[in-house]
Structure 1
Amino acid sequence: MDIVPLLLARIQFTTSLSFLALFMALAFALAWLLLFFKLCTHGPRRAGWTAAYRFWVRFFALSFVLALASGLPVLIQLGSLWPGLMDKIGNIAGPLVGFGVLSVFILKSCFLGVMLFGQRRVSDGVHTFAVFMVAVGQAATLFWVLSLQSWVQTPAGATLIDARYRVYDWNAVIFNPSLGWNLGLMALWSALAAAFLMLGVTALHALRRPLDDGERCTFKTALVVAVVASALQIPVLAGASRVMAEHQPAKAAAAAGYWHSGAEPSWTLFGWPDHRAEKNRFAWTLDQAGGEWLGRDTHGQYLGLDTYSGMRPPVALTFWLLRAVLLLGGLMLLMSWATLILTARRGLDPSHLPRWWLRLMVGMVYTGGLAVLAGGVFSLVGMQPYAVNGTITQTEVLGTTGTAALALGLVGYSVLYIVLIAAFNSMLFHAVRYGVVPVRKPGGGAQ
């Protein structure tokens, strides 16, 4: 078949799903951080925590709207780019997508309006409860989306009958082997995306003027979140890699650059995978360090890429995406822990940090978001050529849309996403420069 339509469909769907993942991650993490800010307003330093809440709630609202809007192209593309997929997995995808949509609907119709617009009309306790329910709703939506995304990677609880999946165990479908690790990674990367966004914005404030109480509260919270989340990446990535090795050995071999089955399982730190020569050029390796992350056959032999001739994922792209994830994670780990050490004796006050360090933090403002994108693309690319791991290929479910239409759609969606991200960035730095307008209750003071 013509490979161009398949390639364009892959790029278009990956772009849309990555955009959705980025803003779902931000909305999820910001919802829980806002709940923390809101709870802290009931204690000492109320004014500072209230200012932190009021500044960041607008970015939660924008992230929520962008995530909701970007979900529509993904649903449309499931039907237009891969029309045969829903016919084969509709018994599974339908209920899971339905639960996700229901979570969004309940969240939007019942609690989001109170959270964003009802603070002056309800009691503080009711408003805090609304913020809590919004955070729960965000977690529920993310759970159902990741349940489906994890199931196509590690299908369980269903079997193919007459070219359609039939469910025999819903618990196994929902809580499939990779769900827990994927939830853990997404939660950590979401936390890091929000935390480094907050750290970078606060550092930019500190470069321009003395910080107020709200900005100091934001910095302390974000730093603690970044320190904990960056450290937890290590065991969670290790666990996810073991599941990948067991259930997606081709992806594991591509990620490791492991070409020949049975060979010494060295871990390639860097190199250039050459699929023609089936070796890694300019490779830096750690001898006997890669076996834990590779799949094995029934005889215990390590499975290399030569086992999957014709059914390999894009080796070089998979290889480098994993290293991008590890590099970004390592940078965030070093930055967060070094900042903790530098500010520990100063009450975690960023005002005492050198200006060059603050500039470095501003430069890393989107590092967590990039980790979300790199991890999401790695997950999608590493599963190719399958739409459902090990059973249904993307070629089987590809639609009949022509090359020109696919190219035009890709350009259109890409331009739209660039504009939306630019708008988010513009609003962020506008708020950094001008702050927020005080909100007053009728007959009361500023909130």
Structure 2
Amino acid sequence: MTHSALSLSHAQFFLSLGFMLLFLALELGLAWVLLFFKLKTFGSNATAWMGAYRFWVRLFALAFILSFAASMPVLIQFGSVWPGLMELVGDVIGPMLAASMLSLFIFKSCFLGVMLFAQRMLSNLVHTLVVLMVALGVTVTAFWLVAIVAWMQVPTGVDVIEGHYVVMDWLDVLSTPALPWYAGLLLAGSLLTVAFFMLGVTCAQTMQKPVTDQERLAFRSALLLGLVAWVALVCVVVGNGFMTAEYQPAKAAAAAAYWESGSQPDLILVAAPSALQDSVLGVLRWSHAGGRWLGRNDSGILMGLDQFSEAMPPVTLTFWSFRLAVLAGALMLFLLLWVVLRTRRYGLDPHSLSYRERQLMVAASVLGWIMLLAGAAYVLLGFLPYLVGNDILAAQVQSPESVVTVGLGVLFYGLVYVLCMIGFFQKLRHAVRFGVVPIARHRGRA
């Protein structure tokens, strides 16, 4: 396979994984939001909280279907794009993939149907317990997927026998230093994404009809969730930065655009990763602050990209994807604080925003997705050219397909995902416009 075909293989796999991530984040975040709504139905204003639950559970179901459908191409591409990978690490990744699918089908078969279609047949307490089990099921399923990514980047608990990775201790496999930080990034990022999604959808609802109590409650909940999730995400990002410096120094050097080892570098915020560092674009920098985010060798010397010339990550993608994620997060904090200040006199009522301001929040609802995709690009593409640890290169396990074949695959998957996104936004637009349409209750039916 040529270098162009390898790059297209990376693009195809990241395209599928990124599309799955968008709806996995909505599914994961909404699962816990729905549990919060159900718990609030035991207090005052239960009718409004139940109305909020009934609206958002429909969007959760839609996100679940798309997330489940998008996971199939990712599983297929483990074998089609990287056919040699499972042969080498199948003893480790195979059981974790099986655990993820088992968790998915258990909660889907046992609890999801009851949650969506049997609410009228159960007491509020029992149905709330079902919602809790669905949230736990979604979280466990996502945990196994994160565990695979974390282990591939920082492999532990295994031994290499005749070129194959063999598990020595499953507890050590799941104790990889990257796992808690990657799990925290997904959970906090999902909750922040859902918070902005809820703000945008609620503002869109108020542009179609007079605001109701259930929309006010959803709006206030989204503001609180967004602020809490943003603080949690910042804490996890800082911890992940220290982990990256220790275990993935090449990625850390690429993110900091640190080319020459030894000196204490500035933390460059907006400059291009090479020639533009001394230009006007390089003025936003934090002097002598970059060293704390960089790896060190055994002699304590900071490691620059010159130490990884034979296996250098894609510097431009790593550099800018990290900054795009940070920029999206900063914009989200600014908008959260602005909305709180703008609406606090009116009890955090979304209708107190002007029409233009609500349009702005509708447009800003995609900031979470942008942050997630940029963060995923930094985590995954910044680890290239390796797929597992510092031993298995992507070029070693790549498919022998030609550039044309891989390129057509990218176009096909891209077209399918575009159509899925169009369908999702059409269904979302219908839900925003008409809300929950009552269904006739028939004897003997849920």
For Structure 1 versus Structure 2, the TM-score category normalised by the shorter chain is: over 0.9
Indicate how the Cα distance of structure 1 residues 369 and 278 shifts in structure 2: closer, same or farther if over 3 A, else same: closer
Partner of 2:19: 19
| Structure 2 residue 57 is matched with structure 1 residue 54 | no
| Structure 2 residue 282 is matched with structure 1 residue 283 | yes
Partner of 2:263: 263
Partner of 2:79: 79
| Structure 2 residue 247 is matched with structure 1 residue 247 | yes
Helix, strand or coil for the counterpart of 1:165?
Answer: strand
1:154–1:177 contact (8 Å) kept in structure 2? yes
Percent sequence identity is 44
- Return the offset for 1:341: 2.7
Partner of 1:31: 31
1:386–1:392 contact (8 Å) kept in structure 2? yes
CA deviations 1:81-104 (Å, max 9, x no partner) are 111111111111011111100000
In the alignment, the residues of structure 2 paired with residue 253 and residue 318 of structure 1 have an alpha-carbon distance, to the nearest angstrom, of 9
2:223–2:336 contact (8 Å) kept in structure 1? yes
| Structure 2 residue 303 is matched with structure 1 residue 303 | yes
In the alignment, the residues of structure 2 paired with residue 341 and residue 185 of structure 1 have an alpha-carbon distance, to the nearest angstrom, of 27
In the alignment, the residues of structure 1 paired with residue 15 and residue 268 of structure 2 have an alpha-carbon distance, to the nearest angstrom, of 28
In the alignment, the residues of structure 1 paired with residue 168 and residue 190 of structure 2 have an alpha-carbon distance, to the nearest angstrom, of 33
Q: TM-score normalised to the size of structure 2?
A: 0.96
Helix, strand or coil for the counterpart of 1:159?
Answer: strand
1:211–1:351 contact (8 Å) kept in structure 2? yes
In the alignment, the residues of structure 1 paired with residue 107 and residue 194 of structure 2 have an alpha-carbon distance, to the nearest angstrom, of 21
Helix, strand or coil for the counterpart of 2:84?
Answer: helix
- Return the offset for 1:138: 0.3
Greater Cα shift, 208-217 or 417-426: 208-217
Partner of 2:194: 194
Greater Cα shift, 375-384 or 37-46: 37-46
2:271–2:277 contact (8 Å) kept in structure 1? no
Helix, strand or coil for the counterpart of 1:424?
Answer: helix
Helix, strand or coil for the counterpart of 2:269?
Answer: strand
Partner of 2:319: 319
2:38–2:53 contact (8 Å) kept in structure 1? yes
Helix, strand or coil for the counterpart of 1:120?
Answer: helix
How many residues align? The count is 443
In the alignment, the residues of structure 1 paired with residue 175 and residue 355 of structure 2 have an alpha-carbon distance, to the nearest angstrom, of 47
Amino acid at match of 1:11: A
Partner of 1:122: 122
In the alignment, the residues of structure 2 paired with residue 352 and residue 113 of structure 1 have an alpha-carbon distance, to the nearest angstrom, of 38
Where do 1:35-434 residues align within 5 Å? 35-274=35-274, 282-284=281-283, 285-434=285-434
In the alignment, the residues of structure 1 paired with residue 207 and residue 97 of structure 2 have an alpha-carbon distance, to the nearest angstrom, of 45
- Return the offset for 1:353: 2.5
In the alignment, the residues of structure 2 paired with residue 45 and residue 184 of structure 1 have an alpha-carbon distance, to the nearest angstrom, of 33
Amino acid at match of 1:98: A
- Return the offset for 1:442: 4.5
In the alignment, the residues of structure 2 paired with residue 130 and residue 228 of structure 1 have an alpha-carbon distance, to the nearest angstrom, of 25
In the alignment, the residues of structure 1 paired with residue 336 and residue 231 of structure 2 have an alpha-carbon distance, to the nearest angstrom, of 10
2:314–2:381 contact (8 Å) kept in structure 1? yes
Amino acid at match of 1:312: M
2:208–2:433 contact (8 Å) kept in structure 1? no
Helix, strand or coil for the counterpart of 2:271?
Answer: strand
1:231–1:333 contact (8 Å) kept in structure 2? no
In the alignment, the residues of structure 1 paired with residue 144 and residue 232 of structure 2 have an alpha-carbon distance, to the nearest angstrom, of 23
Greater Cα shift, 344-353 or 425-434: 344-353
- Return the offset for 1:441: 4.2
Indicate how the Cα distance of structure 1 residues 2 and 279 shifts in structure 2: closer, same or farther if over 3 A, else same: farther
In the alignment, the residues of structure 1 paired with residue 175 and residue 430 of structure 2 have an alpha-carbon distance, to the nearest angstrom, of 42
1:97–1:144 contact (8 Å) kept in structure 2? yes
- Return the offset for 1:125: 2.4
In the alignment, the residues of structure 1 paired with residue 225 and residue 395 of structure 2 have an alpha-carbon distance, to the nearest angstrom, of 42
Helix, strand or coil for the counterpart of 1:271?
Answer: coil
Amino acid at match of 2:96: L
Amino acid at match of 1:2: T
Gaps of 5+ in 1: none
Name the Cα RMSD after superposition: 1.8
Q: TM-score normalised to the size of structure 1?
A: 0.95
CA deviations 1:49-78 (Å, max 9, x no partner) are 111111111111111111111111111110
